[in-house]
Every structure is written in structure tokens, then in C-alpha cells.
A and B are shown apart, each in its own frame.
Chain A
Amino acid sequence: MSPILLIEQILNGLQFGVMLFLMAAGLTLIFGVMGLINLAHGSLYMIGAFAAAAVAGWSGSFLLALAAALAAAAAAGVLVEILVIRRLYRRDHLDQVLATFALILIFSEGTRWLFGSFPLYLDVPEALSGPVTLPGGIRYPLYRLVIIAIGLAVAAGLFWLIARTRIGIRIRAGENDREMIAALGVDISRLYTLVFALGAALAGLAGALVGALQSVQVGMGEPVLILALVVIVIGGIGSIRGALVGALLVGLTDKLGGFLLPLLFRGFMEPAAATSAGAALASMLIYILMAGVLIFRPTGLFGAGT
């Protein structure tokens, strides 16, 4: 194993991690501020990807496609919040899970009805396609580097928003005591809609960015949703910092584990058996990580109460 390959895998883990962060940030914000479990977050990711594919196909511009993804996912978020979610804040989590699960089915079949059952085409923009050579002779796809940069920029922007702005103060206050900030004259339902739209837009952005690398198809959001849930459990529910650390941990564990475990097993097993045993264990690795974190920190790495 060469160091170049290892560095490449670390970059892959980072890229996967920041993509998960975009999903997990919205999920954890919504849970932290409103106490709501939103299973339909994966559908917002799918909407972002479909909107991007449709607009890119129509206009040929990737920037326009990204803007459309943000707008479409945020709009869908606002719509869902006003029509459905608003009625669920005072209900228990089981009702929320049931209702948002229904939303997944509605969004999936609705998307199929609009776009058909076949995957859509969305490609990396011409200017960002192909590999670049990094110092040390590593050839790495430019687009993935751009995703890492965008993800880190969004993380920085979110920290700034939460820590430094008036909206951020309200969001933090809403997390702590919603009756009190309502009594202080903040329109709490408008705040909730705003937070929900922000979370949805981040999911839509993730969907559009990743849609260019993957297949844009119905049901693409659910596998990512499961990983994002793992991330916020590891990071601590409600914490943006936790979401970032958790996402990078999950990304790196997944990519490095999938790569190193079969190699490790090859030291004492036959190659074919090592490949299959390593692959099997690697797919469990992030859940083992989650269990490990929960044993030592039951509220997650940055969860309240630690």
C-alpha cells in the first residue's frame, strides 16, 4: 500500500464526510430547535437532485442548477412545514415518524409521477470535470475537491450564522426555551419555518452536488438519511459542531475501513475470504463506531448534558 493511495482515501473520506454534514446539519438543527424527527429529510435531498438535473438539462448551466436545487428544496421544506409538520410539534415522536414516513412515500411516488421511473442525467460541469494533480503526484478528481471546499465553506457559514447573527441567537434561544422567546415577542412559527427551510435547502444542495456524481433516481435519499441519522447520534443531537465532527468521523471510518480492513484480513486469511469478510465487517463499521460512542457518551460527542 502506497502513501499516495492512503492520502487519496483520506480525501475520499473527507469528501464523503462533508457531504454527510450538509444532510446532518439540517436534520440536527430541525431536531434541536423544534424537537422534530424528520424522516422526509432524504426526500428533500432527492428533490434537490431532481431539480438540479431538470434545470441543468434545460439550461445547461450547473450554477443555475444548484440555485434551482436550493430553491426547490427550500420551497418544498416551507410547504411541508406549513401543511404537515406544524401540526406535529406537540405530538410525540412516534406520530412524527409516522407522518414524515408518509411524506417519504408521497414524495417518492410524486417524483416518479413527474419524472418517470428511469434515472435522470446530471453530470459534473465541464470546467470541474477530470482529475487534477496534487502535490506529491496524487491525481484526484477536481469536482470532489470542490465539494470538500463547498462543504467546509457552508460549515463556516453555519457557525457564523448560529454564533454571530440575530437569527442565530433566536435559534439558540428557541432550542433552550420556546415559551420564553415566544413571550419575548419572537414569532416562533415563522422562526420554525425559517429553520426548516434552511435545513431543507442544505439537503437540496447536498443532493444536487452529489447527484452529479451518482444516479439521480427515486429513493436516492433514504440510504443517506440513515447515515445522517447515525451522524447526529454520534455528534450529539442539536449540535452543529457535533454534526461536523460526526460526519467527518463517519466519512473517514467508512472509506478507510472499507479499504484497510480487507488488507488487514489478508494478513491471516485467504484472499477471497479476506475480501468478503473485510467487506462485511467494513459495512458494519460505522454502526460499531456509533455503539462505541454511545457507550462512553450516551448523548453523543457534543450533546447537551455532557
Chain B
Amino acid sequence: MKLKSLILAAALAATAGGALAGSHGGKVKVGMITTLSGGGAGLGIDVRDGFMLALKMAGADNVEVVIEDDQRKPDIAVQLADRMIQSEKVDVLTGIIWSNLAMAVVPAATAQGKFYLSPNAGPSALAGKGCNPLYFNVAWQNDNLHEAAGAYASQAGFGKTFILAPNYPAGKDALTGFKRFFKGDLAGEIYTKLGQTDYASEIAQIRASGADSVFFFLPGGMGISFLKQYADSGVGLPLVGPAFSFDQGILQAVGAAALGVKNTSQWSKDIDNPANRAFVEAFQAEYGRLPSLYASQGFDTANLLLSAMARADVGDTEAFRAALAAADFDSVRGDFAFASNQHPIQDIYVREVIREGDVFTNRIVGVALEDYSNAYVDQCRM
């Protein structure tokens, strides 16, 4: 009996010692895996710069960030995540831009007890049945901006919209999201090739379809190509799209072809609150360019992390999770809270592309969805 309690006591002491050794003294090590080379590097660079700017502005010396480039390849992202978890012993992972990479990394990272804060990718699988207490999305669920575009198209009175997106999962989600909130009829629906650069064929079909408006989701270079060719074709129907084809990084490459186009975004540089004003000013001062929505998402992700660190120790998983879920930080978007599946509840705005001096940028012209979360909240059980 005595021996047994002695062993128990020793075991307890060992666990306590372990807990002590695992305690962080308020320090957090962050592993950032993002895209810094190749075609999509602009997005990763903006997320990284936004994130690091927030740490710098807060003077946070208790956060150590390890940054690695995933080259937009899922296998490399998985290797990096393994290395960061096994040998770098990070507490929190973040940074991934693309949904297919997130699907490869996030479930494994959370299964090993690491927090994951997504600054961009929000695949439906991680919002619904695959939700996890350790996974937080600080940007949006993938469907959100498309749903807002559908809502806006209805508000604007469009009755016959032609919709197109690339033929891959996020493209299908985009058209599904648009249709979820759009009340009019479709003049046509096209899936284009992923990475397609010539849209002459699609534009000819839009012209022949008798549509009164066009919704398109073509991220990155695809959107630049489409917009330039669409403007040159003289079709001239109103365009609606998510912010991805109109972010600060690519508007200059599109030029006047994008002027007047309505796009939906949870952030814009003219959202009027102190946090956003400070962010836009500091970003320009630090990097010499205007911030994009990706930069704003990286910035908010870092501030969310800092707010949780002020409330709890990352070694205490349950307390830290509660601290993250409270979202007690000043988002550059204004009101920000997490839904029960740990994705944002936020306003999604309609922006218009304008010219300010010789720079193309956006300004807010309305609100498409107010305090909206996502369509998958009910499917998440945790």
C-alpha cells in the first residue's frame, strides 16, 4: 500500500515536472508555412509581411517565427510541417494560402496537438464535418466572398447572370456559393481550365448568351488575363467577382480594364476604424506599397495570436483555445467574432475599383452580407 502510493506520488511528480518543462513562460514558437516562390508568391509574401508587421507594431519579443516556403506544393508543405512539429517544436502553425495544401497539413497538425491559425485557406471540409478545436480560420470560409457576390448580384437587380470559374474544387465551391445567395436566372455556366490564360472562347459565349451581368472567380494571373481580354472585347456587361482578382497586388497589372468592377471582400483599405488606419499607414511605411486583403489577414492572424497569449499560456491547450475563441483583438475589419466552428462572423462588403492618382485601388460602396458566418456551422460537431 505504502509502496503503491509512493509510486503514485513519483508518477505525479514526474508528470508535474513534465508539465513544468513543457511550460513556455509566455513564449510561443510559430511555424509559418507559406508560398514565397513561384506563381502564387505575391499572396504568401503579403500574409508574411502583414503577420510580421503586427508583431513589430506590438513590440512582441515573446513570439519566435520560423518561416518556410512551400512552393505551392502539398508534398513540400507536409514535409515542412513535419519538420516544424518534430524538430523545431513549434506551438502554433499558420501561413498556408491554398486549400489543397491546407487539407494536406491541417488535419495532421491538429492531430498532433498543434494549433493551426489559417490566414487564408478555408476549405468547406475543415468548416463542416472536419472541424477541429485546434483549427481556427481568421480569414473566411472559402464560399463566403462568392456568397456575398451572389447576394450583391440579387441586390443590384441582375436577373440573368453568366457565371464562370476554373474546373477545380475551389472553383466549384465558388459557383455553388454564388448560387446559394443569387435569386435570378443563370444565362450560362462554364468551368474553364485551371491556369488558362486565353478566354476568347468564353467571352464569345458570354456575348452570345444574352446575359445582363457576369460573375467570375479566376484568382491570380487567370483573372488578369480575363479582365484585359474582356475589356478589349467590348462586351461591356457589368462584372461581379470576389476580391481575389482585385487585390492590391494585381490591380496594377490589370490597369484601367478593372475600373468600376464590383467585387466582394471582408476587408478594404478604407474601412474606417483606428486599427485599420494604423495598419494601412504602418504597412505603407514599412514596405512601400499598399496592403492587400492577404496582408490584412496575416495582420489579424498575428493580433489574434497575441491576444490569446495575453490571456493564457499556450502549454495549457484548453485555456489557450478558449482565449483564441474569444477573439479579443481589434480586427482591421471592425467587428469580428468566431462562429461555433471557429470561422469568422463578419460583414462582407461590396467594393468598386477606382483610380487614386496613378494607383488603382478599391473603395467600399455597400455591404453584401452582414454578420455572416458560413453555411457549414451546423455540420460541425465538437
Contacts and interface: CB of A to CB of B under 8 A. Distances in A.
A214 B198 contact: yes
Contact of A139 (B38, B172, B234, B249): B234
Interface stretch (B199-207, B342-350, B371-379): B199-207
B198 A213 contact: yes
Contacts of B39: 217-219
Given A121-B252, A276-B191, A259 B234 contact: no
A12 interface: yes
A123 interface: yes
Nearest to A223: B195
Interface string A211-235: 0111111111001000000000000
Contact of A16 (B198, B220, B224): B198
Contacts of B201: 9, 12, 255, 258-259
Interface in A1-51: 1-2, 4-5, 8-9, 12, 15-16
Nearest to B194: A283
Best-surrounded residue of B193, B204, B228 (most CB of chain A within 10 A)? B204
A181 to B, nearest CB: 40
A220 B167 contact: no
Contact of B255 (A12, A123, A262): A123
B109 interface: no
A5 B208 contact: yes
Contacts of B229: 141, 213-214
A2 B233 CA distance: 18
A12 B37 contact: no
Interface in B156-198: 167, 172, 189-193, 195, 197-198
Contact of A121 (B189, B192, B222, B253): B253
B232 interface: yes
Interface string A119-147: 11101100001110000000101011000
A276 B229 CA distance: 23
Contacts of A139: 207, 233-234
Contacts of B254: 121
Contacts of A216: 253
B224 A218 contact: no
B167 A119 contact: no
Nearest to A224: B197
Contact of B172 (A217, A255, A258, A276): A276
Nearest to A251: B198
Contacts of B255: 121, 123
A255 B204 CA distance: 11
Interface string B10-53: 00000000000000000000000000011101100100000000
Size class of the contact patch on chain B: 35 or more
Contacts of B172: 276
A296 interface: no
B337 interface: no
Contacts of B252: 118, 121
Contacts of B167: 276, 279-280, 283
A118 B37 contact: no
Given A5-B208, A121-B252, A279-B167, A12 B200 contact: yes
A117 B234 contact: no
B81 interface: no
B96 interface: no
A271 interface: yes
A117 B233 contact: no
A68 to B, nearest CB: 18
B225 interface: yes
A275 interface: yes
B250 interface: yes
Given A12-B201, A218-B39, A275-B189, A119 B253 contact: yes
Contact of A215 (B190, B192, B253): B253
A5 B205 contact: yes
A175 interface: no
A279 B191 contact: yes
B197 A220 contact: yes
A266 B220 CA distance: 30
A272 B167 CA distance: 12
A261 to B, nearest CB: 11
Nearest to A282: B193
Given A112-B37, A213-B229, 20 more contacts: A5-B205, A118-B252, A119-B42, A121-B253, A121-B254, A123-B255, A141-B233, A141-B234, A212-B228, A213-B228, A214-B197, A214-B198, A214-B228, A215-B220, A215-B225, A218-B41, A219-B38, A220-B197, A255-B201, A283-B167
Identify the 6 closest CB pairs spanning chains A and B, nearest first.
A215-B224, A119-B253, A215-B221, A279-B191, A12-B200, A131-B234
Interface of B: 37-39, 41-42, 45, 167, 172, 189-193, 195, 197-198, 200-201, 204-205, 207-208, 220-222, 224-225, 228-229, 232-234, 249-250, 252-257
Interface of A: 1-2, 4-5, 8-9, 12, 15-16, 108-109, 112, 117-121, 123-124, 129-131, 139, 141, 143-144, 210, 212-220, 223, 255, 258-259, 262, 271-272, 275-276, 279-280, 282-283
30 contacts: A5-B204, A5-B207, A5-B208, A8-B204, A12-B198, A15-B200, A16-B200, A119-B42, A119-B224, A119-B250, A120-B253, A121-B253, A131-B232, A139-B234, A141-B200, A141-B233, A144-B200, A214-B197, A214-B224, A215-B228, A215-B250, A215-B253, A217-B224, A218-B41, A223-B197, A255-B200, A259-B201, A272-B189, A276-B167, A279-B192
